Amino acid sequence: MLTRHRRDMVQSGLRVPLASLLAALLTAACANFEGLAPKPVQADAGRLAASRSLAGARLSPAAWPTAEWWQRFGDPQLDALIAEALAGNPGVGSARARIDKAVALAASSGAALAPQASAGADVTRQRYSSNGIFPPPIAGSWHTQTQLAVSFGYELDLWGRNRAAYDAALGQVRAAEVDAYALRLLLASSVARAYAQLGRSFEQLELAQATLAQRQAIFDLIRQRVTAGLDSDVELKQAEVSIPAARQRIAQSEEEIALGRNLLAALLGQGPDRGLAIARPRMQGGVLALPSALPSDLLGRRPDVVAQRWRVEAARRDIEAAKGQFYPSVNLAALVGVQSITFSKLLTRGSEIPTFGPALRLPLFDGGRLRGNLAAKDADYDIALEQYNQTLIDALREVVDQLASLRSVDAQRVQLDSALTTARQAYQLALARYRAGIGSYLQVLAAEAPLLEQQSLQANLRAHELELSINLMRALGGGFEDAGVS
């Protein structure tokens, strides 16, 4: 038997190797993740050159769209349709469900930050071996082992791994919330564009009906002239053949109106019959001004850009959580309960089985699993950041695109107004000459064609300008303002 002095020497000698072993284990546990890091660089909106493209635009510090930007078109029916779409479109419900799912996943992830407790009851009927470790009378007999216990556990988040995972989940919640706003903005702008196109179809129908009435009046005039011997049947047939063409344009416009109403009904989340109640649109245009803080303030005004920023932040926190897995985990565990091989003694004195103590887990050799996981998280971050950069570039391009198109509309309107005035004068002159008997009907037809073309182009241009205004409202964020990302 060792003397006390020798025993102390042995124990002292063991403490040094044990301490060294523990240090070695901790060092091994903190596996090396050198060389694993994200690669892309986040784009800076202020450095994306756009000053020359924005030159000449009407800039105003108060020109950002409001949340109900569609009200600027002054059409109560449009306001009601968009409100109905935002309440009834299935896509809005899906967006809400995605938010609920993200919130649930975040709650599940956050559970790792709180203590855990569970209760259990176990009843096992077992025959103990006659040749086992238990002596008679237990050996060779049947017994029912019963246990009632409550266990507790808590992981000390020393490296911030669980907190980072929870923050990443919260980032996904915020991204889902902003995505829902982006979907509502897309839906509102889709309704407004379809409504503007419906207005164009109604205007084309009105032009076709006016043309038919005018051609019918001329046909009646020619028939009177033929009866009076002033014209021949040739002019009469020329006038007659133009009437079915006008009716064909009416039928075409009516088809476009029916399809436009069907599209609007679908956007509202309703059946086609809902579209039959939609009256002719009465949208009004207006001069648009761009915010003076473009493009830097666009970061917090575009929901798609903000949502992608949250995904970048979530990916960054995922990297921190992955790095935390390289370090040891420390868990505090405890169990309080009773156990007995006979049910009658389960709740008697001496059946207690209290257990408590810390548990240390060290990742020593994992075959590259942790490095592979971290590399995947780095790649996810790279993807999210590049998607953010692309989203920002596309956002700025969309604004400049609408501005360029609106400038073109202004230039086209000047030329179109001039051409329409000339065409109308030419047609009225040709018609007056024909009625006076000094011109032919062929001259009337020749003058009518450019007039109809210019009138149709004017209607299309008005609808195009409204559509560009709608697109610009959406490109500027549609009233969204981010207050959650620094």
- Local confidence pLDDT in tens for the 486 residues of the chain: 434 444 443 344 434 444 454 554 555 445 566 666 666 666 655 555 455 554 555 545 556 788 899 999 999 999 999 999 999 899 999 999 999 999 999 999 999 999 999 999 988 888 888 888 888 888 888 888 898 989 999 998 888 999 999 999 999 999 999 999 999 999 999 999 999 999 999 999 998 998 888 888 888 888 888 887 777 778 788 778 888 988 999 999 999 999 999 999 999 999 999 999 999 999 987 666 666 666 667 778 889 999 999 999 999 999 999 999 888 888 999 989 888 877 777 888 888 888 988 888 888 778 888 889 999 999 999 999 999 999 988 988 888 888 888 888 888 988 988 998 998 998 888 888 878 878 777 787 778 888 888 888 888 888 899 999 999 899 989 988 876 543
- Report the pLDDT value the prediction gives residue 215, as an integer from 0 to 100: 83
CA-angle at 274, arms to 273 and 279, nearest 5°: 110
Q: Please, is 426 exposed, middle or buried when counting C-beta atoms within 10 Å of its C-beta (0-12, 13-18, 19+)?
A: middle
Do 299 and 393 meet the contact criterion of CB atoms below 8 Å apart? no
Alpha-carbon distance 380 to 38, whole Å?
9
Alpha-carbon distance 192 to 146, whole Å?
70
Alpha-carbon distance 422 to 411, whole Å?
17
- The pTM assigned to this predicted structure is 0.80
Q: Quick one: tokens of 317?
A: 């926190």
H, E, C per residue of the chain: CCCHHHHHHHHHHHHHHHHHHHHHHHHHHCCCCCCCCCCCCCCCHHHCCCHHHHCCCCECCCCCCCCCHHHHHCCHHHHHHHHHHHHHCHHHHHHHHHHHHHHHHHHHHHHHHCCEEEEEEEEEEEECCCCCCCCCCCCCCEEEEEEEEEEEEEEECCCCHHHHHHHHHHHHHHHHHHHHHHHHHHHHHHHHHHHHHHHHHHHHHHHHHHHHHHHHHHHHHHHHHHHCCCCCHHHHHHHHHHHHHHHHHHHHHHHHHHHHHHHHHHHCCCCHHHHHHCCCCCCCCCCCCECCCCCHHHHHCCHHHHHHHHHHHHHHHHHHHHHHCCCCEEEEEEEEEEEECCHHHCCCCCCECCEEEEEEECCCCCCCHHHHHHHHHHHHHHHHHHHHHHHHHHHHHHHHHHHHHHHHHHHHHHHHHHHHHHHHHHHHHHHHHHHCCCCCHHHHHHHHHHHHHHHHHHHHHHHHHHHHHHHHHHHCCCCCCCCCCC
Do 391 and 308 meet the contact criterion of CB atoms below 8 Å apart? yes
Residue type, 216: Q
- Report the pLDDT value the prediction gives residue 15, as an integer from 0 to 100: 44
- Residue 108 CB neighbour total at 10 angstroms: 11
Do 168 and 160 meet the contact criterion of CB atoms below 8 Å apart? no
